[in-house]
Amino acid sequence: MTDTPLIHPVILCGGSGTRLWPLSRQSYPKQFTPLIGDETLFQASVRRLSGVGFAAPVVLTGEPFRFIVLEQLAAAQTQPQGVLIEPEGRNTAPAVLAAALWLASRDANALMLVAPSDHVIPDAAAFRTAILAAAPRAAAGDLVTFGIHPTRAETGYGWLELAEGADASATTPQALARFVEKPDEANAEAMLAAGSYLWNAGIFLLSARAVIAAFEMHAREMIAPVRAAVDGAQDDLGFTRLNAAAWADVPDNSIDYAIMEHADNLAVMPFGDGWSDLGDWNAVWAECGPDADGNVLSDNATALGCAGTLLRSEDGAQELVGIGLEDMIAVAMPDAVIVARRNDSQRVKEAVTALKARGVKQATEFPVDHRPWGWFESLVVGERFQVKRIVVKPGAALSLQSHHHRSEHWIVVQGTAKVTVDDEIKLIGENESVYIPLGAVHRMENPGKLEMVLIEVQTGSYLGEDDIIRYEDVYART
């Protein structure tokens, strides 16, 4: 094992997670939320892929999530090797190739452990053991995928068919016959009974050299634009921004379709110590460990005469009560609630599509808006006014800005704010306020070592977030 190169975790951190709406939304998807336990799925993924034999992670994410990624990495006490920003989502194949090219420019023999950021693997030590056991095959040039021991006839996953003579319970990589698309119920039952199939976890261990060679053989059309995007990347505030013009020419394709279904140097590492992609609320219910009545309850939920039910309230001031429910899910957010049979939880994506068609903002927007300097939420919205709670991190600053259509009144309720209004700069303490006239150039900063909290009252003819003219911004936003 000492001759095996370091394994470089490549964590894919995009996606909208619509199947776990309303907790997961386009503006704040499930990987950034503490769905299971106290830490987020992204942080759990980072911790799981660390330790002896592992390099610092490489994260691929989108523009809206870049500061959330850094904030959650810092909370997990992890310094990334790199954070690559995709100008727009192009599925997993271009992301994997970009990471391979980026790593190969530093180490041609680098091993990549490509993993989504939103999976649950309870036994992290067992998974690391499996990764290290698969490393020699990957270092030798094989494309190693991870196959999960199936526990049910699942129709929501792709499957992997083992080659003849391969052992599904082996602790070393096995020969793989083929990838199988998501099956219907009858085929899923047949594959489960056969015992020679595994679930496709979408996790891969590959050498950067082998990945690039596979693209050159099976998806050559991606090489030039992705290479141009990587070669033309720019470092910005600790991020590596892939070149947007080159990325626009990259085809949209998954790594399975582009490479894995065509390659002949495949192997599969069986893993049977627990895994879930948390693909719907039914999976969350199962992973949370139902009680003796089959119920899973959040801190602010009460079940009376219920069985097999998930009751989850995400607001400490909101109590959720279920009476006489059986095999149901009910998830309550401050701005949206979903109630459904557990067996219909795969249809949540349909609900999001319907809400989008109606132009409902809850379909995509999270009630808390995360920004690089902190976050805010709207408390009250009315005709020509809005009240917000704004939380600014220690040492952080909002952009120097002005508005065409609104004035603002700030009241500090915790900490101290350093406030700029045109040519005047002053400190505002708790229970003090300041008025920002329409058109005034202004900025708010937190000079303290604790979070600063204020209440903002906006008044005007238009209160949208796009009514911002930025003059200076430490986060390079436009």
Upstream peptide bond of 116 is cis (omega within 30 degrees of 0): no
Residue-averaged pLDDT of the chain = 94
Q: Looking at the DSSP assignment, which residues form a beta bridge with residue 61?
A: 13, 85
* Residue-wise pLDDT tens digits, 104-151: 999 988 999 999 999 999 999 999 999 999 999 999 999 999 999 999
pLDDT-above-70 percentage for the chain: 99
* Residue-wise pLDDT tens digits, 373-417: 999 999 999 999 999 999 999 999 999 999 999 999 999 999 999
pLDDT (mean) for 3-19: 86
pLDDT (mean) for 288-302: 96
What is the predicted pLDDT for the residue at 3? 65
* Residue-wise pLDDT tens digits, 31-68: 999 999 889 999 999 999 999 999 999 999 998 898 89
- Which among 173-182, 321-330, 342-351, 464-473 has the top mean pLDDT? 321-330
The angle subtended at Cα 352 by Cα 179 and Cα 464, nearest 5°, is 130
Calpha distance 397→401 (Å, rounded)? 11
What is the predicted pLDDT for the residue at 2? 47
* Residue-wise pLDDT tens digits, 328-384: 999 999 999 999 999 999 899 999 999 999 999 999 999 999 888 999 999 999 999
Contacts of 1 (CB under 8 A, 6+ apart): 53, 132, 135
pLDDT (mean) for 212-224: 97
What is the predicted pLDDT for the residue at 156? 86
Query: Collapsing DSSP states into helix, strand and coil, what is residue 366?
Result: coil
Query: Collapsing DSSP states into helix, strand and coil, what is residue 349?
Result: helix
Calpha distance 433→438 (Å, rounded)? 16
* C-alpha torsion sign, points 396, 399, 402, 406: negative
Calpha distance 100→115 (Å, rounded)? 13
The two structure tokens encoding residue 280: 């719907």
Query: Which CATH code for domain 7-271?
Result: 3.90.550.10
Contacts of 187 (CB under 8 A, 6+ apart): none
What is the predicted pLDDT for the residue at 478? 61
* Residue-wise pLDDT tens digits, 414-453: 999 999 999 999 999 999 999 999 999 999 999 999 999 9
| Domain ranges, ordered by start, for the chain | 7-271, 281-357, 368-472
Domain 368-472 CATH superfamily: Jelly Rolls (2.60.120.10)
What is the predicted pLDDT for the residue at 127? 97
